[in-house]
Amino acid sequence: MEGKVALVTGAAGGIGEAVVRTLGERGVTVAAVDKDETRLRATVAKLTADGFQVEAFPGDVTSSPDVEAFVDAVERRLGPVDYLVNAAGVLRLSEARRLTDADWSFTFAVNTSGVFFVSRAVVNRMVPRGRGAVVTVASNAAGTARVEMAAYAASKAAATMFTKCMGLEVAKHGIRCNLVAPGSTETPMLSNMWQDGESARKASIEGVASSYRVGIPLRKLARPENVAQAVVFLLSDHASHITMHDLTVDGGAALGV
């Protein structure tokens, strides 16, 4: 993977940051994209101080013109994009019947339309080159019903099927499109769900019968690097004959379904 160029969205923290670091460790030059410019630049400063080749590209994945602009900028400054990782994501918790229009629209704007806009912009540039790999970070919630996660689960299910359909269409161009579906992972997105820190963490692991959650058979939360390693595997030549695959990284929480 050394010498390749990757574009990673949602790169300012959590899984996205871990993906950037893991790619950097393999000699990949990374375009780190995030809407939060302050956090993004702090993250990139930390990664470059550690010796990785990372450059910040502030951008909003929910804006098609913005996406086209930052993808153009990446290719002009760093070279053709070999790898795309769609890691930008948001979560709005609410019972389905109590979701607001704004909650629904924002969730789909980032988690679904963002994947569409960025994938379209990057893959259209990959096709003439006849190579490339895409990984979308989805969720085990895309296939497992969760209380108060209707918008999130639906948006991730849509992104999952979009990525697989795209993968079917561009396979003839030598481009692979796969997914990684994390479960509960130690990121701010998860901790922000917890009203009572340690007991909520324990409940995530042990399960909550009243919410129909079975817990995590491996008895631990994922770390961002666990997810990042799965992403990088699917981008790499080790996965050269894998496309349209959904790799679940959840410690068994979805019971292998």
* CATH number, residue 92: 3.40.50.720
**Whole-number Å distance between alpha carbons of 169 and 7:** 21
| Percent of the chain whose predicted confidence (pLDDT) is above 90 | 89
Domain count for the chain, please give it: 2
For residue 228 the two structure tokens come to 């990042």
In this prediction, residue 257 carries a pLDDT of: 85
235 shares a domain with 210: no
pLDDT tens sequence across 196-254: 656 667 778 999 899 898 999 999 999 999 999 999 999 999 999 999 999 999 999 99
78 shares a domain with 199: no
pLDDT tens sequence across 118-138: 999 999 999 999 999 999 999
Residue 19's closest CA among 223, 252, 191, 221?
Answer: 223
Residue 150 contacts by C-beta under 8 Å, 6 or more apart in sequence? Answer: 94, 95, 96, 99
Domain range holding 65?
Answer: 5-183+222-248
pLDDT tens sequence across 7-37: 999 999 999 999 999 999 999 999 999 999 9
Q: What pTM, to 2 d.p., does this model score?
A: 0.95
pLDDT tens sequence across 48-93: 999 999 999 999 999 999 999 999 999 999 999 999 999 999 999 9
170 shares a domain with 208: no
69 shares a domain with 127: yes
85 shares a domain with 190: no
What residues are labeled active site?
152
**Whole-number Å distance between alpha carbons of 94 and 150:** 8
Whether the per-residue pLDDT at 151 is higher than 90: the answer is: yes
166 shares a domain with 127: yes
Q: Is residue 143 part of a domain?
A: yes
201 shares a domain with 136: no
In this prediction, residue 189 carries a pLDDT of: 74
163 shares a domain with 121: yes
